[in-house]
A and B are shown apart, each in its own frame.
Chain A
Amino acid sequence: MNGALSTATIVAALALAVWYLLRTALDRAPGRIDLIAVVVLGALVAVLVLVAVVGLLDGSRPADTGTFAGYLVTTIGLAPTALILARMEPTRWGNLILGIACLVLPVLVLRLQQIASVTGV
């Protein structure tokens, strides 16, 4: 797992989570900027997952490759899922959906790092 890229993803997700929770508290429905922000975050996550997949193909696999792959699939799917649900929910709860997704993402990335680090020795 690429350290800098993971850290950037985690920081971006947490910053966006604060933003979305604030928007929820202010009773705002997701606007264009909110939706674009989660698309950008999703793109960042996609790059992260791509780098991880290339790492897998390189040979140095985590001991638990199955679990690692499962987390990769979940990680890349989370932001798009949240985006679809949020677009279906044009109320404050749409922003809460985005906020929760942004809180779950760092956990997933941390888990990926954990699984990858157990490996390598």
Chain B
Amino acid sequence: MSDQPSAGTTARPADAALSSGVGRVLLLVYGVFALSASARALVQISTHFSEAPLAYLLSALAGLVYIAATVGLARGGPRGRMLALISCTIELVGVLVIGTLSIIDTGDFPDATVWSNFGSGYGYVPLVLPFVGLWWIYRHRPTP
């Protein structure tokens, strides 16, 4: 058996890269979502914005949040970590609020965003992702 690569990571040094290990997996997933959410928003806004302005603006917001999270994770360091922390928090609030609203009041959300129905259109990954992201950022907090 190979040795456990995660064995020595319980006390990570303050400058250990946020983007290594699980962070690099998150980088790929956040990158895919940054791309798909913002591309979706771009298509929605450029072709039929007037149909559901609120939903499409939220789509664009979701895209920006995923981009910010990806950049934060990739950059690392105190500022990258802060950026990732803020965007993952917005993402968590976003998916919970939009998910709930889209179920209660379909009138305001005639067309889907990434976060509609808690991200059911994306295999509920948008619901799980912020928890994993926040867990990783928390686990990676600098040791005093």
In the docked arrangement, what's the CA distance between A36 and B43, Å?
35
Q: Tell whether, in the assembled complex, residue B24 and residue A66 are in contact, meaning their CB atoms are under 8 Å apart.
A: no
In the docked arrangement, what's the CA distance between A59 and B1, Å?
55
Kindly state whether residue B39 has any CB partner on chain A within 8 Å: yes
In the docked arrangement, what's the CA distance between A65 and B43, Å?
11
Q: Tell whether, in the assembled complex, residue A74 and residue B35 are in contact, meaning their CB atoms are under 8 Å apart.
A: yes
Q: Tell whether, in the assembled complex, residue A89 and residue B20 are in contact, meaning their CB atoms are under 8 Å apart.
A: yes
Interface string of B43-62 (1 = CB under 8 A from A): 10000000000000000000
Kindly state whether residue A82 has any CB partner on chain B within 8 Å: yes
Q: Tell whether, in the assembled complex, residue B25 and residue A88 are in contact, meaning their CB atoms are under 8 Å apart.
A: no
Report the contact-size class of chain A (Cβ under 8 Å from the partner). 20 to 34
Tally of A-B Cβ pairs under 8 angstroms: 47
Interface string of A77-121 (1 = CB under 8 A from B): 010011001001101111011001100100000000000000000
Report the contact-size class of chain B (Cβ under 8 Å from the partner). 10 to 19
Main secondary structure of the interface of A (DSSP, over half): helix
Q: Tell whether, in the assembled complex, residue B24 and residue A88 are in contact, meaning their CB atoms are under 8 Å apart.
A: yes
Q: Tell whether, in the assembled complex, residue A97 and residue B43 are in contact, meaning their CB atoms are under 8 Å apart.
A: no
Which listed residue (B2, B22, B25) contacts A27, Cβ 8 A? Answer: B2
**3 residue pairs, one from A and one from B, having the closest CB atoms:** A91-B5, A89-B24, A96-B25
**Chain A contact residues, CB within 8 Å of chain B:** 27-29, 64, 66-67, 70, 74, 78, 81-82, 85, 88-89, 91-94, 96-97, 100-101, 104
5 A–B contacts, CB within 8 A, in A order: A70-B43, A74-B39, A78-B32, A93-B21, A93-B22
